[in-house]
Amino acid sequence: MEIGEILDGYRIDARVAESGMASIFRATRIEDGAQAAIKLPHAAMEADPLLFDRFRREEEIGVALDHPNVMRIFPNPHRSRVYIAMEWVPGELLRQILAEERKLPPERAIRIALGILRALDYIHSRGVAHRDLKPENIMVGEHDAIKLIDFGIASKEGAKRLTYAAFTPALGTPDYIAPEQVKGKRGDARSDLYSLGIMLYEMLTGRTPFSGPSPLAVMNDRLINHPLPPREANPEISPQMQEVIYRALERDPRNRYPTARAFASDLENLDKVGAAEREELRNWKKRKSGRLRRILYYVALAMIPFALFAAMLILSRHGR
């Protein structure tokens, strides 16, 4: 797209963002002068059936959502090419705010987290899981009003699962991905709550809880080690707030908050949150090695071709 070009009633004003799959443009709707965002997939994405299906799924999910904390997507059945038209959301990405301020006062972190939880409560009630919750996908506006954006890898209950041939960034972001997603599971509403737990930890401490020299090492760290306790990183964090973070970061989804509303209730009533005696507080300094897990991971990858060959052999014999 060229700046100044007209696309189905939208004038393209500026390119504002770029990702591996699409470009985002600020545009003006000629009919009424309203600003909009246009998400245009790269040519390579349009040529890949799986990625193209993912792009169409994002639009399908977004058009059905209508909430003040969720960016709206406008239906457009008569467009001349593939793109998504969305509301223009003024403000700053949470990532920009964290880059400038490093960590936030507890009151502000809670305010932003509650806005995110309102958005999650809404989308989860409609069978949608975002699955890529991170500061880059949270727009913060005036008075810390938030908008949840980018449903590029969201899932919808009852919808066909879109499978990728390899682990790619399209399956989540290493710093924020939930343990069950690391293990190859689809991820659901509680995966979003885990990701928000990571973001709350980061907003309050200025760092993410798990680290490593590579994305694989970061993901492995969350499976075998406990993070630095939040109060060790920032003494301003209360024991009750620390407990809320730990409840969100439970490795087993069954032990996390059951809903966004339950998570929000604790944030709104911290004085009623009991701080438990946790293993995470006693054993966080004991660091386990991920070497064995990595070996098993690569062995499993090496076995995939043999498993596929065996399956094909069984099917061929069965068809005789």
> Across residues 250-260, what is the average pLDDT?
96
Please give the pLDDT value at position 142.
94
Inter-CA distances, 171 with 29, 154, 216, Å = 33, 10, 13
Long-range residue pairs from 261-268, CB within 8 A, at least 24 positions apart, any chain? 261/117, 261/121, 263/117, 263/193, 263/196, 264/114, 264/117, 264/118, 264/121, 267/110, 267/113, 267/114, 267/117, 268/114
Q: Does residue 305 have a pLDDT over 80?
A: no
Domain check: are 77 and 106 in the same one?
no
Q: What is the DSSP letter of 156?
A: E
Domain check: are 238 and 162 in the same one?
yes
Known catalytic membership, residue 132 = yes
Whether 1 is covered by a domain: the verdict is no
Please give the pLDDT value at position 231.
95
Please give the pLDDT value at position 160.
59
Range of 79's domain?
6-87
pTM score, whole prediction = 0.84
- Looking at the chain, list the stretches that DSSP marks H as alpha helix, in order from N- to C-terminal side: 43-47, 49-63, 94-101, 106-125, 179-182, 189-205, 215-224, 230-233, 239-248, 260-268, 279-282, 291-318
| Residue 77: alpha-carbon gap to chain centroid | 28
Domain check: are 300 and 205 in the same one?
no
Residue with tokens 């696309």: 7
In the chain, the amino acid numbered 170 is A
Question: Among the three residues 67, 87, 107, which one is the final residue of a domain in this structure?
Answer: 87
Domain check: are 33 and 63 in the same one?
yes
Domain check: are 282 and 135 in the same one?
yes
The residue from 132, 150, 175, 221 that is catalytic is 132
User: Which range among 46-55, 142-151, 202-211, 262-271 shows the weakest confidence by mean pLDDT?
Assistant: 46-55
User: 42, 35, 34: which is closest to 17 by C-alpha?
Assistant: 42
Q: Does residue 241 have a pLDDT over 70?
A: yes
- Split into its structural domains, the chain has a count of 3
Domain check: are 136 and 213 in the same one?
yes
At 123 the three-state DSSP class reads helix
Domain check: are 169 and 229 in the same one?
yes
At 208 the three-state DSSP class reads coil
Residue-wise pLDDT tens digits, 159-218: 655 544 343 443 568 899 999 999 888 889 999 999 999 999 999 999 999 988 888 889
- CATH code: domain of residue 49: 3.30.200.20
Whether 142 is covered by a domain: the verdict is yes
Residues sharing a CB contact under 8 Å with residue 3, sequence separation 6 or more, in sequence order = 12, 13, 14, 15
Domain check: are 298 and 207 in the same one?
no
Residue-wise pLDDT tens digits, 31-44: 999 999 999 988 87
Please give the pLDDT value at position 5.
95
Residue-wise pLDDT tens digits, 56-73: 889 999 999 999 999 999
Domain check: are 236 and 168 in the same one?
yes
In the chain, the amino acid numbered 40 is L
Question: Among the three residues 66, 87, 108, which one is the final residue of a domain in this structure?
Answer: 87
- C-alpha 97/C-alpha 203 separation (Å) is 10
Binned at pLDDT 50, 70 and 90, residue 297 comes out as low
User: 84, 93, 31: which is closest to 62 by C-alpha?
Assistant: 84
Please give the pLDDT value at position 173.
82
Please give the pLDDT value at position 290.
55
User: Which range among 161-165, 221-225, 235-239, 289-293 shows the weakest confidence by mean pLDDT?
Assistant: 161-165
Residue-wise pLDDT tens digits, 6-32: 999 999 999 998 877 889 999 999 999
Q: Does residue 307 have a pLDDT over 80?
A: no
Please give the pLDDT value at position 167.
39
Residue-wise pLDDT tens digits, 86-112: 999 999 999 999 999 999 999 999 999
Backbone torsions φ then ψ of 189, nearest 5 degrees? -55, -40
Residues sharing a CB contact under 8 Å with residue 123, sequence separation 6 or more, in sequence order = 65, 67, 70, 129, 130, 148, 154
